[in-house]
Chains A and B, each alone.
Chain A
Amino acid sequence: MKASAEDINWDSVVSNELPRLYNYFRYRLGDEVIAEDLTSVVLEKAWLKRHRYRKDRAAFSTWLFAIAKNEVIGYLRKRRVSVPVSITEKATAETAEHMLEQSQDLQQLSRRLAELPERERELVSLKFGADLNNREIAAITGLSESNVGTVLSRVLQKIREGWEGAR
C-alpha cells in the first residue's frame, strides 16, 4: 500500500492536532514551556517522517500521538526521573504570574496528576489532555480498549478520592 504523505492536510493538523498535542504534553509533564517545545518537535518529526505514515494502518492522530508518546519517553529518559510533585510545585512557584491565572482547583488537579504513576498519567493525559477516545488510546498504548476503560475508571476514582480528601 502506498504511503499517504500527500493526503495529510497540514492546515488541519495545526488547527486540530496541535492543541491536543500541546495539552497532552501539559497533562503528561506539567510544564507549559516543555509542552510547547515538544509539540514543536513532534510536528517537525511528523513532517520529516510523513512518507512513513500509512493511512491503511492507523488514523493520522494515532500515528501522531505514537510519535508524541515516544517523545515523552525520550524526554523522561534524558531527565532520568519522572516529574515528582516537588518539581511540579517548584515549577509552579517559579511561574508566579501564571499561578495567579489558575484557580486553586487547577493547582490541586495538577498535584493529583503529578502523583500518578507514569502509565496512569499517560492514560489520563491521552484521555483528557489530548481528548482521545478509549479506542484511540488503546491503539497508541497497545492496551486493549476494555483495559484502557478499566484502568481509567480506577484512576479517576483515585483522583476523585484524593480530591475530596484535600478539600
Chain B
Amino acid sequence: MNDDYLKQFRRSPDSKFVEKIHARLEKKQRLQVIRNYSVFSALAVMFLIGILMTFSSTVRAEVLQTIEEIAGLRFDVTSNYPGDPDEEVTIVPSEYLSLIEAQNRFPSPVMLPTYVPQGYERQTDVEFFVLGDTPTLVIRWDSNEKSAGNIELDIKHCPSGFENCGMTVGEGALEEIMLNGKPAAVIRGAWNYDTQQYDLSPMTAIQWKYDENTVYTLSTWDQDMPLEELIRMSESIP
C-alpha cells in the first residue's frame, strides 16, 4: 500500500448536484448585476429627466406622461432601455450583518413577516449597502427546492423623500393593490441586460411606503409563486 492509495477514496460529485450549484451561483451573479444596473439606471434616468424638464416645456409635458404615482411612490415608466448599455456596472460594496445588528444600525424599522411560504428559510446574514444617501437592507429567504427562486425583502431608508427611492420600469409593469386596506404597487418584471428589453415574466414585487421615510419591497423570482402568497407575506409584516 502506498500513500497515493488514500486518494482512491475520492469520488466525483454527482453531476446533477454540480449542475444545481452551478445554476445557483450563476443566478446569484445575474441578480447582482441586474440589481446594480437597475439602481444605476434609475439614477441616470432621474438625472436626465431633471435636465430635460429644466430646459424644455415640451419635454416636460412628454416626460410627465411617463411618470406614474402609485401608493405615494413614484415610478418612471419607459419602453426604452434606461442608461447606456456600454456603461460599466458599478459594484456597490455590501456588508453582511446579523439581523439584530441590522435592526440596531438601520435608521428605519426592520420588521419581518410572520408568514413565510412553505419551503422557504431565511438566510442568517442580512445584506446592507448605501447608495447615495439611501441605506438599504436586503433580507432573503431561500427555497429548499434549489431550482426555485428566492424571496427578498428590500428595506430602503429615504431621508430626502421618496423621489430618490423610485424605480424605472417597463410599460405594463405596474398595478395598484391594497395591503391591509392601504395602497401598494405590484411591479412585474425586470430589465433584461442581454436583450435590453423589459421582461414582464421573471420577477414579481410588491412595494409600499412603510412610514414617511421607509419603502418596503417584497419580491420573488419564483415564477410559480402566486401573487396571493406574496400579498399574504407582505400583509403579515407588522
Tell me the A residues contacting B by CB distance below 8 Å. 3, 5-6, 10-11, 13-14, 18-19, 22-23, 26-27, 32, 36, 39-40, 43-44, 47-49, 51, 105-106, 109-110, 113, 124, 127-129, 131, 156, 159-160, 163-164
Q: Are B13 and A22 in contact (CB under 8 A)?
A: yes
**B25 contacts the other chain (CB 8 A):** yes
Query: Does B182 make an interface contact (CB < 8 A)?
Result: no
Residues on A with C-beta less than 8 A from B25 are 10, 13-14, 43, 47
Indicate which residue in B6, B11, B14 contacts A159 across the interface (CB closer than 8 Å): B6
Inter-chain CA distance A88–B73, complex, in Å, is 59
Chain A-chain B contacts (Cβ-Cβ < 8 Å), number: 73
Interface size on B, residues (CB 8 A): 28
Contacts of B12 in A (CB 8 A): 19
A22 CB contacts on chain B under 8 angstroms: 13
A106–B1 touching, CB < 8 Å: no
Partner of B1, one of A11, A43, A131, A160: A160
Whole-angstrom distance between the alpha carbons of A103 and B9 in the complex?
A: 10
A-B pairs, 8 with minimum CB distance:
A128-B6, A22-B13, A23-B10, A14-B22, A10-B25, A128-B7, A109-B9, A156-B3
Question: What separation, in Å, do the CA atoms of A47 and B12 have in the docked complex?
Answer: 22
Q: Which residue of B lies closest to A156 (CB)?
A: B3
Task: Enumerate B1-48 residues with CB–CB distance to A below 8 Å.
Answer: 1, 3, 5-14, 17-18, 21-22, 24-26, 28-29
- In the complex, residue of chain B having the shortest beta-carbon distance to the beta carbon of A32: B11
Q: Is B96 an interface position by the 8 A CB rule?
A: yes
A106 and B28: CB pair below 8 A?
no
Does B93 sit at the interface, judged by CB under 8 A?
yes
Are B10 and A39 interface neighbours, CB within 8 A? no
* Interfacial chain A residues near B127, Cβ < 8 Å: 48
Residue B114 interfacial (CB < 8 Å): no
Q: For the complex, what is the distance from the CA of A164 to the CA of B5, rounded to whole Å?
A: 13
| A23-B1 CB under 8 A given contacts A14-B22, A43-B21 | no
Looking across the interface, which residue of chain B has its beta carbon closest to that of A45? B125
Task: Please tell me if the beta carbons of B8 and A106 are within 8 angstroms of each other in the complex.
Answer: yes
